[in-house]
């Protein structure tokens, strides 16, 4: 962030000590435990604790260097919302009790800042002259992960996850639903949710409710889940969609300078997050972040910490692709735990591979 602004913008919802270009947060004990919970789930191929997922995705904004194009736009993740079924009579007076969306204060402030358009080489798409001396907006995406209830035979889990992503480049909200069963009902539910939910600082900042509703796009052209069921001759557990939601989010963040980033490829490695740029990269990033925010740990304590995330043998794709990102992660900087790809002996840090069960 430019030094001309006295108060550098930092990724929310974290606190920070001092100022550094890497945006290393001062994690609370609860926040640290949430990141650990997600890391354990990724290493074991289990379902992550839902309330920890948005925080972990928000942490993906932290500890990022500046790329060749400058600072990468950020994405903000709101806590997971439960979507009740739409129940409307002819007079529309039987609405569910929708919770109010209360965005972080800094996110609301960011929505008021000018957005530098990617389409027009960084020109502002907000000509408000009063913002001339304010810092530019950092958040391109506002992301809302939803949980829907589904009643499907032969499945014990009843939760399906979808995600709504507001893109400031296009002033559009794209809703992604990767599960093929009962999509029509979920689309109706999400439409009524956005029609009636209160979201001060967001929807009223964008424009009127009618205009907001006209800017919603429903992306449901995903067939991979159905094809998996045809191959396995059995149902895919609905809650597996949490991996698809996380993958969609990571795809957006990794391609935040892509104009057509909302077109997420309908491929197996994206539905399950196996693509090397998705869950493996996310895992490596969170692991390095956790170690970076605890610089006073001894080597022995680092090893004990990393051993919690020993990757299962059957997750060969996770093991190999995580190694690639650990080798590349800030390899030009020294650190107690870092694996420096430029040094043949790994700088004495090969212990991380063994601890994680990475060949």
- Give the model confidence (pLDDT) of 222-235 as tens digits: 999 999 999 988 88
Closest CA to 313 of 43, 98, 131: 43
What confidence tier does 92 reach under pLDDT thresholds 50, 70, 90?
low
d(C-alpha 13, C-alpha 284), whole Å: 21
Whether the CB-CB separation of 325 and 285 falls below 8 Å is answered with: yes
State the pTM of this model. 0.89
pLDDT-derived band at 204 (thresholds 50, 70, 90) equals: confident
d(CA 192, CA 122) in angstroms, rounded, equals: 35
- Note the pLDDT tens digit of each residue in 16-50: 987 777 889 999 999 999 999 999 999 999 999 99
Pairing of the two strands 139-149 and 159-167: antiparallel
272 pLDDT exceeds 80? yes
> Confidence band (pLDDT; 50, 70, 90) for 197?
very high
DSSP 173-212: EEEE----TTHHHHHHHHHHHHHH---TTTHHHH--HHHH
- Give the whole-angstrom CA distance, residue 120 versus residue 331: 34
Res. 271: pLDDT tops 80: yes
Radius of gyration of the chain measured on its C-alpha atoms? 21
Per-residue pLDDT, averaged over 209-223, amounts to 94
Counted residue by residue, the chain has a size of 359
- In sequence order, the β-bridge partners of residue 74 are 139
Amino acid 137: pLDDT: 92
- Give the rounded percent of residues in the chain with a pLDDT score beyond 90: 64
CA distance 284 to 282: 6
pLDDT in tens, 119-132: 876 555 444 444 45
Binned at pLDDT 50, 70 and 90, residue 66 comes out as low
What CA–CA distances, in Å, run from 251 to 76, 242, 247? 14, 14, 6
DSSP 315-336: -HHHHHHHHHHHHHTTTTS--S
CA-closest candidate to residue 57, choices 136, 160, 161, 196: 161
Backbone φ/ψ region at 153: left (φ over 0), alpha (ψ -120 to 50), beta: beta
Task: Quote the CA–CA distance of 38 and 343 in Å, as a whole number.
Answer: 30
Q: Which of 120-129, 189-198, 335-344 has the lowest mean pLDDT?
A: 335-344
> What pLDDT was estimated at residue 127?
44
Give pLDDT, residue 205: 56
> Which range among 78-87, 125-134, 189-198 shows the weakest confidence by mean pLDDT?
125-134
CA terminus-to-terminus distance, the chain: 39
Residue 121 makes CB contacts below 8 A (sequence gap 6+) with none
- Looking at per-residue confidence, does 345 or 353 come out higher? 353
**Separation between Cα atoms, residue 15 and residue 18, nearest integer Å:** 10
Helices vs. strands in the chain: H and E counts, helices first:
13, 5
pLDDT band at residue 67 under the 50/70/90 scheme: low
């Amino acid at each position: 962030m430019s030094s001309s602004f006295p108060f550098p913008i930092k990724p929310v919802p974290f606190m920070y000590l001092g100022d550094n270009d890497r945006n290393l947060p001062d994690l609370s004990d609860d926040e640290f435990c949430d990141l650990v919970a997600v890391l354990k789930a990724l290493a074991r191929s289990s379902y992550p604790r839902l309330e920890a997922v948005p925080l972990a995705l928000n942490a993906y904004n932290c500890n990022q260097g500046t790329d060749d194009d400058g600072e990468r736009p950020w994405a903000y993740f709101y806590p997971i919302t439960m979507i009740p079924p739409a129940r409307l009579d002819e007079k529309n007076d039987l609405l569910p009790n929708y919770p109010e969306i209360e965005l972080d204060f800094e996110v609301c402030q960011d929505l008021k800042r000018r957005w530098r358009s990617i389409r027009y080489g960084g020109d502002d798409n907000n000509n408000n002259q009063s913002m001339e001396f304010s810092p530019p907006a950092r958040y391109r995406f506002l992301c809302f992960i939803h949980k829907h209830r589904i009643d499907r035979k032969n499945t014990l889990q009843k939760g399906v996850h979808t995600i709504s992503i507001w893109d400031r480049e296009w002033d559009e909200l794209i809703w992604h639903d990767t599960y093929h069963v009962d999509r029509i009902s979920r689309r109706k539910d999400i439409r009524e949710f956005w029609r009636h939910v209160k979201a001060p600082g967001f929807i009223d900042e964008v424009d009127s409710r009618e205009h907001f509703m006209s800017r919603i796009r429903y992306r449901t052209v995903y067939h991979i889940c159905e094809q998996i069921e045809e191959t396995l001759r059995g149902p895919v557990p609905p809650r597996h969609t949490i991996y698809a939601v996380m993958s969609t989010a990571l795809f957006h963040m990794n391609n935040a300078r892509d104009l057509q980033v909302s077109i997420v490829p309908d491929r197996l490695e994206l539905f399950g997050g196996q693509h090397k740029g998705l869950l493996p990269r996310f895992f490596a990033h969170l692991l390095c972040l956790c170690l970076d925010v605890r610089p006073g740990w001894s080597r022995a304590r680092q090893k004990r910490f990393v051993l919690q995330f020993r990757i299962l043998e059957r997750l060969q794709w996770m093991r190999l692709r995580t190694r690639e990102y650990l080798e590349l992660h800030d390899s030009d900087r020294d650190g107690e735990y870092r694996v420096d790809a430029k040094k043949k002996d790994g700088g004495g840090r090969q212990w991380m591979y063994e601890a994680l069960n990475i060949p």
